[in-house]
Each structure stands twice: as C-alpha cells, then as structure tokens.
Amino acid sequence: MSTEMNAKIEQNQAAIRFSDVSYRLNDVAHRQILRNISLDIHTAEVLVLLGRSGSGKTTLLRLVNRLLLPSDGRVTVAGRPTSDWDAIQLRRGIGYVIQEAGLFPHFTVAQNISLVPGLLGWPTERIAARVSEMLQLVGLEPREFSGRLPRELSGGQRQRVGVARALAADPPILLMDEPFGALDPVTRAELQREFGALAKRLGKTIVFVTHDLREALLLGSRIVLLQSGQMVAAAAPREFLQIDHPEVRAFAASLLAVPGAPV
C-alpha cells in the first residue's frame, strides 16, 4: 500500500490537495468548522497547521485520512479523492501520531510498532527487523524497550514509540496532531530537535498541527495559519512573521511574552 501511494505521489506535484473544502458538523449550516480551504501540500514538505484552539486544525488533518469527509469541495491524496479511496487502505498508507501517542496499553512496544506491518501481511522476520530499526531510529534500545508495556515508559518514550509505530510501514505521509503538547518543556524541546532532524532525513510529507508558534517556526518548511475555520496566512517560517495580519501579529506577540513582565 505504501509503495503504491508513493508511486502515485511521485507522479503528482501535490501529495495532498484541498480544493475549496468546507466542513460543517453534522452538515448543519450554522455549525461551520472549515470554510473554503484551498491548499496544496507538496511531497517531502513539513507543513505546519497553526491556530488557536477551535480554529479547525485537527478537522483539516482528519480530512486527509478520511476520518472525516468534506461537506463541500474535494480532498485528494496521491491524486485521488479521499471519497474514492477505501478508508482502511488509505489509513494504512498514512502514519498518524496524536498527543500521548495513543498506544494500545495491553500491547508491548514491539506489538504496537508491528501493528500495521502485521495487518499488511509482512513476514515475521521482516516485522522483527523493522521494529528494531524503528526503535533505533527514535533513540530507544530495542533489547531494552521491545518487551515493555506503555505504562512502563515515560511520556517522552511513549511519544517516540508513537512516531516509530506511525513510520513502521514506511508511509509516504505522516499526520501529527500536537504530538508533543502534553510533555514537559525540557522533553518537548528534546523531541522537537530530534524530530526536526528525523524529518529532514526521511523526506516524508508531514502535516503537523500545533498552537505553538515557536514549534511551528522550528519544525515547519511552511506555516499555514487558521482562524475560525479559514486560512488567513501561509508562508515559509522566515516570511511568516512579516505578514501584516492581526492574527499573525497576535501569535508573534506570544514570542515576546516574558513571565512577570507587565502586559
């Protein structure tokens, strides 16, 4: 599945495309969450969706792997509308990382990481080698961590396992929904640096949701700012802070906040 999707993405300029997409909760007109989103996400790009809580970031992310379908417009992945993809096939070709990792608590680390390769029918030897490779990739010693349960891990270790699981079947697309948001500041900074280096090495198409401008500037190759379900700004990190828009200025002001200083 990942190989098939990779081949299709290579033939298309945009790995993911939103074409005039709107989304209404339960299709009720006055419960509009997204409005007229048009956006191309390119192969090997790390696109950060930035915005306040309730701005529509996670909804936009869930439209990519067909956890939701648009009320209007079209979302395409590898040149094919998500409505035309078999939902299970589509999701097996897209890695998904959420806050607190979402690991199965009764599965060991190895079982969590091997889940999608097992569903895809990989042979046992290949799965075992991949689990070891992925643990090493995210900085965890396979012999020490393979047999542990999630409750035996720290928060940072669980997030590393979550990333390893998302990458296990080598998907061309990786979705990350505030993956470091629940971590303490020191662990979060460590994982941000590690993930930034990892993203450059792997060359995946990554869509990363955050409400933290510092994180967006550090990790993104492009930042898209959402406000009340609409795109209000989009730029590379160096240009983003120069955009003359009230919501950009509001986020930029957060970089200047100093604890204890007068507001």
Q: 65 in a domain, yes or no?
A: yes
pLDDT at 7: 52
Among 170, 193, 224, the domain-final residue is 170
User: Which domain range does residue 142 map to?
Assistant: 101-170
Count of CA atoms in the C-beta half-sphere (13 A) of 127: 18
Tokens of 83: 């409505």
Based on the structure, what is the number of domains in the chain? 2
Question: What does pTM read for this prediction?
Answer: 0.89
Tokens of 247: 């919501």
Indicate whether 147 and 241 sit together in one domain: no
Mean pLDDT is lowest, of 7-11, 26-30, 41-45, 223-227, for 7-11
Q: 124 in a domain, yes or no?
A: yes
Nearest to 12 by CA among 80, 94, 78, 90: 78
Can you state the angle between helices 155-167 and 185-202, rounded to 10 degrees?
Answer: 20
The answer, yes or no, to whether residue 261 has pLDDT greater than 70, is no
Indicate whether 7 and 87 sit together in one domain: yes
Indicate whether 38 and 66 sit together in one domain: yes
pLDDT digits (tens, 9 = 90+) for 174-230: 999 998 887 888 988 988 998 999 999 999 999 999 999 999 999 999 999 999 999
Residues 6+ apart with CB under 8 A from 107: 115, 149, 150
Tokens of 245: 């828009």
pLDDT at 184: 87
Among 170, 197, 222, the domain-final residue is 170
Among 143, 170, 197, the domain-final residue is 170
Per-residue pLDDT band at 255 (split at 50, 70, 90):
confident
Indicate whether 75 and 111 sit together in one domain: no
Please name the amino acid found at residue 186: V
Indicate whether 108 and 87 sit together in one domain: no
Of residues 102 and 251, more confidence is placed in 251
